[in-house]
Amino acid sequence: MGSALLYEYRRAVTLRTTWIFLLIAFAMGGLTTWAQYYISGADNGVGSYNIGLLLTRVTSIYQLTVFVIASFAALSWGHEYRFGLNRLTLSVFPRRWTVFIAKTVGIIVFSSAAWLTSAIGGTLLLFSVDSKHVVDYSLGVVNSTENIGDGRDPKLVMEHIVAWHWLGRSLAFVVVFSLIVGAVTALTRNLTIALIVPNVMMLFAENVLVLVGNFASAATANVMNQVLPFVNGQRFADWSTGSAQGQTASASVPTMQSMTVYLSWAMLLLIGAGISFQRRDA
């Protein structure tokens, strides 16, 4: 397994595309955060800086950057088929599960790294436009609004620890989305389909389905809301949803159900992709 992981690592780092994606993720994180900073008008004056607003900025970048981040997952599998590299890969690693697991791990690691890069990009850009406060709030945990501007050392305020999980949710959404895109690529062996279908599903198709379901009956729409992957994924990661639910630990209960649905879809697709990868000709 070690050599398969090393192979996957080398595959990723020796491609310029990988670094370009990271750069784009960084830039997009910065730009979207910067845009939100002005659009939302979050800086309501010293002391009123709300940790929730900052987290909204940082976590909401997933909605845009996820496309870029997940493209890596698509290319991870897509290049294998597009350039015939799968024959080379599988002649070196005849145990196909090894390759499949290494690729899955690679996608998880890269999407996490790209998410972090994106978040750093967002934080740095906020810092550049409002350095006075952003450092304190950069990860939204080590300060409370009471500390702002009072000259005291930052201190950890336990009630804000709960905010961590919103960052975690954003990360989880991005990673699972990447796994879905990767699985779709492995299943279809088609880069274009893998790049388009999940994104179209998330942005349009599922919303249309729910809308159509609404026309049928409220129950139908409710079922769709309960079972569709990206509706649930977004519900899980969306800070504003959580905010509406009170921004407390208890708010995580319904969204954890959403995560279960979202993750189940990812696992289902991954298992399908794994079986397909195991059985089909290279």
Partner 1 sequence: MPSARARSIRGPVRGLSAGCPQSRRGNSSGAHGWHTVKDMRVVCDRLTKDFGNFRAVSSLSFALNAGEVTGFLGPNGSGKSTTMRLMLGLDTGGGSTTFDGKSLNAYSNPAKIVSAHLDAKCFHPNRTARNHLRMVAAASGVTHKRVDEVIELVGLESVARKRPKGFSLGMGQRLGLASALLSQPQVLMLDEPANGLDPQSIAWLRDFVKDYAADGKVVFVSSHLLSEMELLATHLVVIGRGTLIADESMEQFVSRSTRNDVFARTPAAERLMQALAAEGVTAQAADGGVAVAAASTEQVGAIAFTNGIELHELTARKASLEEAFLELTSDTQEYTMERGH
**Closer residue to partner 1 in complex, CB, 11/103:** 11
**Closer residue to partner 1 in complex, CB, 96/165:** 96
CB 168 within 8 A of CB 62: no
**Closer residue to partner 1 in complex, CB, 11/169:** 11
Three-state secondary-structure class, residue 34: helix
- In whole angstroms, what is the distance from residue 257 CA to residue 246 CA? 17
CB 51 within 8 A of CB 158: no
CB 175 within 8 A of CB 163: no
CB 11, min distance to partner 1, A: 5
**Closer residue to partner 1 in complex, CB, 10/152:** 10
Residue 280: enclosing H or E segment and its boundaries? none
Closest CA to 60 of 24, 83, 32: 32
Q: Quick one: tokens of 196?
A: 């388009």
CB 13, min distance to partner 1, A: 9
CB 88, min distance to partner 1, A: 5
CB 191, min distance to partner 1, A: 13
**Closer residue to partner 1 in complex, CB, 27/282:** 282
What does the binding site for partner 1 look like in residue numbers (CB under 8 A)?
A: 3-4, 6-7, 9-11, 14-17, 79, 83-85, 87-95, 279-282
CB 94, min distance to partner 1, A: 5
